[in-house]
Structure 1
Amino acid sequence: MAEHTLTVSIVTPDGVIYSQDTAKLVVLNTLSGNVGVMANHQPIVSALKIDDVKIKLVDDKEQHVAVNGGFAEFSNNTMTIVADSAETPDHIDLARAQAAQQRAQEHISHANEVHDPNELARAEVALARAVNRIRIVTGGK
């Protein structure tokens, strides 16, 4: 079975957020689009968008991790994801994520009113992160 599995590690400056050695599929949202990686896939390095990483295990359970950008590297049946921040559903505070979403939407409105492209860009990133965290917890897409 080992030749049909891959090891997945998600690392942030705070340390290892996720580690699993019985994955059979990892789906990433890269800057070039969605990529599915299975055991023995050709080596890749790719920048990631703010989105969830889907990990399908050999027992067909699916796990999700909210990743805020970063990059993924796959070789020798090991997927390593390095991100500024990442969270598993059990570590996400839904109320806090919803409050962050509300604040980001308010900042977007303000940035549009004052025509501040820098504030708008920051607010859009904050909104994407909050929405990503909410989707992970609620199972929505």
Structure 2
Amino acid sequence: MDNYLTVNVVTPNGLVYEHHAAIVVAKTLDGEIGILPRHAPIIVPLTIDEVRIKRVDADAHIDWIAVNGGVMEVRENIVSIIADSAERERDIDVPRAERAKQRAEKMIQEAKQNDDIDELSRATVALHRAINRINVSKHT
């Protein structure tokens, strides 16, 4: 058990990912963090970004997951990511993500014209989420 991590990614819709891994790399509010087996216990907030998981298998496959915020807890070689939403690279609907990107860009322009700071903030987050999904989908 000391030679690998058990990684779980959970959203309000249920379990998105569960595998054994050699390393997990995620982006926190303070920067990127790499988690190896026997890592000290930690709880960190995650940003909208990709999570890289190098699996423990013969070809050391890397899984990519688009995570939209949340927290990561590491305890006793178990990495639990609780995210607002998350998608594996193979599950991302790229045309839908492209449409979401276009909608967000349009919303940003309208919010700037109307000096609507709240709407600009929401649209910027939506754009970041769409771009993250598109980028993660390219890893397939």
TM-score tier, shorter chain, comes to over 0.9
Contact 2:47-2:70 within 8 A present in 1 as well: yes
- For 1:63-87, what per-residue CA distance to the aligned partner results, in whole angstroms no more than 9, with x for missing partners? 1011000000001000000011100
Alignment-derived partner of residue 85 in structure 1: 85
User: Over residues 36-73 of structure 1, what are the superposed CA-to-partner deviations in whole Å (9 max), with x where a residue is unaligned?
Assistant: 00000111100000001100112421110110000000
What is aligned with 1:105? 105
The percentage of aligned residue pairs carrying the same residue is: 45
Partner of 1:11: 10
The alignment status of 1:48 with 2:46, answered yes or no, reads yes
SS at match of 1:98: helix
- Unpaired segments of 5 or more residues in structure 1? none
Corresponding pairs, count: 138
TM-score (norm 1): 0.95
Higher mean displacement: 119-128 or 87-96: 87-96
Please give the root-mean-square deviation of Cα atoms over the aligned residues, in Å.
Answer: 1.1
Structure 2 portions without partners, runs of 5+: none
CA distance in 2, matches of 1:24, 1:92: 24
